[in-house]
Structure 1
Amino acid sequence: MQNDQRLQEGIAAHQSGDLEAAQDIYLEILNKNPEDPDGLHFLGLLHFDAGRAESAIELIQRSLEINESNTSALNNLGNILKLTGEPRLALATYVRAVEHDSRHKEAWKNINLLLRSSGDFDEILAIMSEIVRLEPENPDAWNTYGLAKMLTGKAEEAAEAFDKSLQFDLPTSPNAVWRARILAAQGRNDLAQKHLERIVEAKPEDKAARYHLAAVRGDKLDHAPEDYVASHFDSFSESFDEVLEKLGYRAPELVAEDVVRLAEQRATPFHDVVDLGCGTGLCGPLIRDHCTNLTGVDLSTGMMQKAAALNAYDFLVEGELVSFLSYELPTRFDLAVCVDTLCYIGNLQPFMKALAQALKPGGRLVASVEHLEDSHAQGFRVDSSGRYAHMPDYIRKCAENASLIYAQDRKEVLRRELGKDVHGLIFQVMLPEQS
């Protein structure tokens, strides 16, 4: 009892940032018993916090040799291995944790995050098959099994697994909406709608669930709700860049290529430039050298905090694009860029009209959108992911209705998602020079 009390005192000191006091207590425990697994585990965590990753791994591994079923130690060791550039070892360590405790939420979450970047799914599928056989009502196991099936191209089996995971999970589960979206993306709108209706019933305040339910039902939506977009991007602002990197996301570079070509035709940089929907600032640094003043605009506070850390922007403004462009702005812009932000706006007419007010004569917009090739569509369509795709002729019509010139476009692959290329357009519109 006394040993447990001292350990808790050490953990409390550790959590408060008093590493010296925590170390003294952990060493005191280990002096009494050098084989104390908890002492070794928490001393290892302290070493990692102090920047000594190698000794941290060694200490936690020693702890696990003594108590191999300590799932907290396994999960923490996996975290350290991931952060030190050993994702495959980390994945194997998380799997060991769920083999000992099939309901370990954090370990399942970490497995799913790492699984997306793993190329070897055979072992994972074998383990998941056994877990779902032994525990057929384990939602976490079905979720991971579905993810592994999806990443190996087995869409039908993946959909069945995601459906089971949602059947056995609470509708308030953190990634329930994501799983329903995946079902829709795999063509199972019936199942997606059933689960989204259940989620909305349990959590009527859930903006994402309400929006994606409307998208799956095919409701007519001119744009994604502002509160949904803001909360959606706030929720994963920390992991946004990492996620997009794994998707092979190219839109910022493709837009920047057009900006560089335009800049090469000028004697001086663009004086006033705005990055509409700047997010974490992926495009800003790529065009910074061609701008005198660069302003970033975004709905998400979390995203803009990341953008501010880049020191690429002269000004950052929190706000919605059309509202911002419609303000009495202190200046009009020589150039606007808009990277994949219009995929949350279906009806582009209000945007184009506001843009025309905000550009200087001769000013241009360079933007990316997802490309809609369905000849039966009415210019734009929201898909089950909640993103809009647009037809080039529709973009041209909206631009011309706002007295803008549709200058050019080109088709490109913007990223990979669910094993498929996502096709898009990089297009330009301009405000005519005054005569």
Structure 2
Amino acid sequence: MSKDRLSASRRLDVALALVSQGDYVAAIDVARAALAADGEWDEAHFTLGDIFERAGETENAVEAFRQYLILDPVDRMGAEVRLTLLGAAAMRDRLPPDYVKALFDDYAPRFEISLRDRLAYRGPELLLEAVRAHLSSATGPVEVLDLGCGTGLVGEVFAGYFEAIDGIDLSPRMINRARAKGMYRTLVAGDITDMPAEIGNDYSFVIAADVLNYLGDLAPALRAAHARMKPGGLMAFSLEHGEAFPFDLGPGQRFRHHQRAISEWLVECGFELISDELGVLRQEKGNPVEGRIMVARATDGLSQLAGKLISQSDPDQASGQTLH
């Protein structure tokens, strides 16, 4: 089959315009015409799947997303996530890193306006309230590691409470936005489950604001954070609350975690839970999104062993504090 990417692109633009008008039947016809012009264009298969899903044609959506994955196995556009939400793929323990990177690279220019002005996001403020007393009473220099630092919102909110702050994020474009603010000592584009050598290993505070939601299994990220912390250091993080154990994937394409699973991961990875509160992280489609604001202390090996023994003998005691 001959390929005509320019013609396919023009037809796909028309299909998207029809979607914005709510004419899914016509949009499907035009998107199929785009694929007739270039059947090897992965983005066109994904867009057709999205239109099918909007039109309620689930089986056709599944087929289109699967065709996309054949052409783009690294899944930059997140077809596997869509298949999972449609019940056509097994749930993985994290979102595809290439998808998350591409998502936030594209999102970077409008990230803060979207979160602050449209979604009323206040995760960093809630985390600061959770650890303010500990920050104020800290002895010696306070060095902070900001996991999933994005454009540097944590650095702005925590300004005045630290001597140095380092950040890591999958998205280089988000990192560039944070660097322009001039608050971070070190900024690295990397994975929080496998942190590069540029990240230090003696932090008294680790902050993870709205980043662990992109992981199902939290153990790799918690272990990586613990390895970079001082004994007794604190980790503060936000999570969306879930009823399914250990986690499920919400319609917003973020993981929701069960409280008992979180507590078990913390013990397994060498943390002692200090506080666990509920708070409204942001608005989504006009509705408040409630999340957990948690603070945990990095313990030494003996404390970790004791925690495991408690977990084995008394599951209720290991499950963390009662929510308020």
Specify the TM-score bucket, using the shorter chain as the normaliser. 0.7 to 0.9
Report the secondary structure of 2:234's partner residue: strand
Is 2:76 aligned against 1:207? yes
- Match of residue 341 from structure 1: 211
Give the equivalent residue in structure 1 for 2:19.
143
Task: Please state if 1:168 is matched with 2:21.
Answer: no
- Give the AA of the match of 1:402: C
CA gap of 1:323–1:418, structure 2 versus 1, over 3 A, is same
Alignment of 1:135-284 (within 5 A): 139-146=15-22, 161=23, 165-169=27-31, 170=34, 192-200=61-69, 206-216=75-85, 217-245=88-116, 246-264=118-136, 266=137, 268=139, 271-284=142-155
Q: Compared with structure 1, are the counterparts of its residues 330 and 205 closer, same or farther at alpha carbon in structure 2 (3 Å cutoff)?
A: closer
Aligned length: 283
Counterpart position of 1:356: 226
1 CA distance for matches of 2:75 and 2:194? 25
Counterparts of 1:182 and 1:366, CA distance in 2: 39
Deviation sequence 1:296-320 (CA, Å, 0-9, x none): 1111111100000111111111211
Partners of 1:271 and 1:292 within 8 A in 2: yes
Secondary structure of the corresponding residue to residue 239 of structure 1: helix
Question: How far has the Cα of 1:226 moved from its partner?
Answer: 2.0
Query: What secondary structure is seen at the aligned counterpart in 1 of 2:19?
Result: helix
For the structure 1 residues 349 and 302, does the alpha-carbon distance in structure 2 shift closer, same or farther, using more than 3 Å as the test? same
For 2:150 and 2:278, how far apart are their aligned partners in 1? 23
The answer as to 2:278 corresponding to 1:407 is: no
Q: How far apart are 1:396 and its partner, in Å?
A: 0.7
Identify which of 132, 157, 163 aligns with 1:292: 163
Once the two structures are TM-superposed, the CA of residue 142 in structure 1 deviates from its matched residue by 3.4
% identical aligned pairs: 28
Name structure 2 gaps, 5 residues minimum. Answer: 1-9, 36-40, 304-324
* Separation in structure 2 between the aligned mates of residue 310 and residue 408 of structure 1, nearest angstrom: 31
Work out which of the residue numbers 179, 192, 202 in structure 2 matches 1:332. Answer: 202
Aligned partners of 2:191 and 2:173: how far apart in 1?
Answer: 15
1:427 is the counterpart of 2:294: yes
Higher share in strand: 2
Gaps spanning 5+ residues in structure 1: where?
1-104, 110-137, 147-160
Normalized against structure 2, the TM-score is what?
0.74
- The verdict on how the C-alpha distance between 1:329 and 1:230 changes in structure 2, with shifts beyond 3 A counting, is closer
Amino acid of the structure 2 residue aligned with 1:168: V
Provide, for residues 202-240 of structure 1, a one-character-per-residue CA deviation record: whole Å limited to 9, x for no partner.
666652243324433241311122222222211221121
Question: Considering only CA atoms, is the larger Rg found in Structure 1 or Structure 2?
Answer: 1
* CA shift in 2, pair 1:210/1:144, >3 Å: closer
| C-alpha deviation, 1:383, in angstroms | 3.4
SS of equivalent to 2:283: strand
Higher mean alpha-carbon deviation, 209-218 vs 195-204, is at 195-204
Amino acid at match of 2:257: H
- CA distance in 1: counterparts of 2:42 and 2:143, whole angstroms: 45
Distance 1:311 1:422, change over 3 A: same
What amino acid sits opposite 1:351 in the alignment?
A
Read off the aligned partner of 1:165 and give its amino acid letter: A
- Shift in CA distance, 184/381, structure 1 to aligned 2, threshold 3 Å: farther
Higher-helix-fraction structure: 1
Query: How has the CA–CA distance of structure 1 residues 295 and 199 changed in structure 2, closer, same or farther, with 3 Å as cutoff?
Result: same
TM-align CA RMSD: 3.5
Inter-CA distance 312–141: structure 2 relative to 1 (3 Å threshold): same
Change (3 A) 1:307 1:175: farther
TM-score after normalising by structure 1:
0.57
Classify the secondary structure of the residue corresponding to 2:237.
Answer: strand
Q: Hey, what's the Cα distance between the residues in 2 that align with 1:269 and 1:163?
A: 65
Q: CA deviation at 1:384?
A: 4.6
**Which amino acid counterpart does residue 208 of structure 1 have in structure 2?**
M
Q: Provide the rounded CA distance (Å) in 1 between the counterparts of 2:241 and 2:83.
A: 21
1:323 alignment counterpart: 194
Amino acid at match of 2:21: Y
Which one is further off, 210-219 or 295-304? 210-219
Question: Out of 287, 302, 305, which is 2:173 matched to?
Answer: 302
- Displacement of 1:369 in angstroms is 1.3
Matched, 1:417 2:279: no
Query: In the TM superposition, what is the alpha-carbon distance from 1:167 to its structure 2 partner?
Result: 5.0
> Which AA in structure 1 matches 2:164?
N
Q: Distance in 2 between matches of 1:342 and 1:203?
A: 25
